[in-house]
A and B are shown apart, each in its own frame.
Chain A
């Protein structure tokens, strides 16, 4: 095994070169390059966490804005609803009023028409009575030869008609 048989010859060289190489590795790379790389990584992770915090803040702000917008929307919607309801009530009231007045108008005209019909009927009745009395007077004179006064004839006709 050369590790043992050669040891007396090579130990100084092995130790010297190992210490030299390891020393350069430790001071030149371990203590010079390594901290720089570590600081790069740290700077990046700090930047990432800062950006995340920033994003979180932005999201909170956006949420707030949205909530405000939503509240305003709700408010306006309620306002609009109220306006619509008021308008509806107003319109309904107006329509009712107009219907009522039209109704009254129509009733008045119907009443007038009815009165006129009543008057016409009464007039016609009176005329029929007069004609009937005259006819009855003449018929009595012609058939029985008895002369009847006009008043008696009229009374008889009235009795017969309303009987």
Chain B
């Protein structure tokens, strides 16, 4: 569990009664930001015939843009920057947390997205934007979201509360899904890592267990890389779907 511990770096900073000290969590978020910035800088050459780096950047932006276009439509164009920021931030933060930096003594990476204080803020941010856009565009008509098209009149008292509950659960599912996926993968790898060590310490009988655990951890690591990308994609996709609800209603 030590890998999830947040430790302050440098002097304590305070705003009023709130402690906002720079921490390892903040450090890795800043590194995430820098990596994204460096990556995007490679796409700013704006050549007619793109090089490899520029093509990669354009591939990423095109991927996010097509996701927004498909799920929201032409009205969603203004939300592409937000979806793009969400996707890249979560993706890079996830992947950074999986880097085997602990090989260098004294260094170990930190997964900012394994803290619900981070994923929760992201989820609440997405949810708030959905609410603001919904009420801004449709006013009180936004509540018609809770009555799907073609609901029989008698069913409305039954359907509307269910729709309302499923709507209110969105920020929790959004934030918890990412947090749980990250923490579960890291704990799984930690458990099998400790199996390798204790297997070796247990003598010849345990070596077989160590080898098996090692093979397993290789597979889990590959799976985790996939999960990093999928979770970032799911977060961005769901946010764009919720935005679609707010912009186009049903």
Contacts and interface: CB of A to CB of B under 8 A. Distances in A.
Interface string A43-57: 110010000000000
Interface stretch (B80-88, B132-140, B192-200, B236-244): B80-88
Interface stretch (A2-10, A73-81, A151-159): A2-10
A160 interface: no
Contact of A12 (B19, B48, B84): B19
B6 A18 contact: no
Contacts of B29: 17-18, 21
A69 interface: no
Consensus secondary structure, chain A interface: helix
Interface residues of B, number: 50
A10 B23 contact: yes
Contacts of A25: 33, 36, 85, 88-89
B117 A7 contact: yes
Interface string B67-106: 0000000000000111011001100000000000000000
A24 interface: yes
Interface in A1-34: 1-3, 6-7, 9-19, 21-22, 24-26, 28-31, 33-34
A84 interface: no
A30 B1 CA distance: 34
Interface of A: 1-3, 6-7, 9-19, 21-22, 24-26, 28-31, 33-38, 40-41, 43-44, 47
Interface pairs A-B: 8 shortest CB-CB = A30-B81, A17-B26, A12-B18, A14-B117, A30-B85, A16-B20, A21-B29, A40-B46
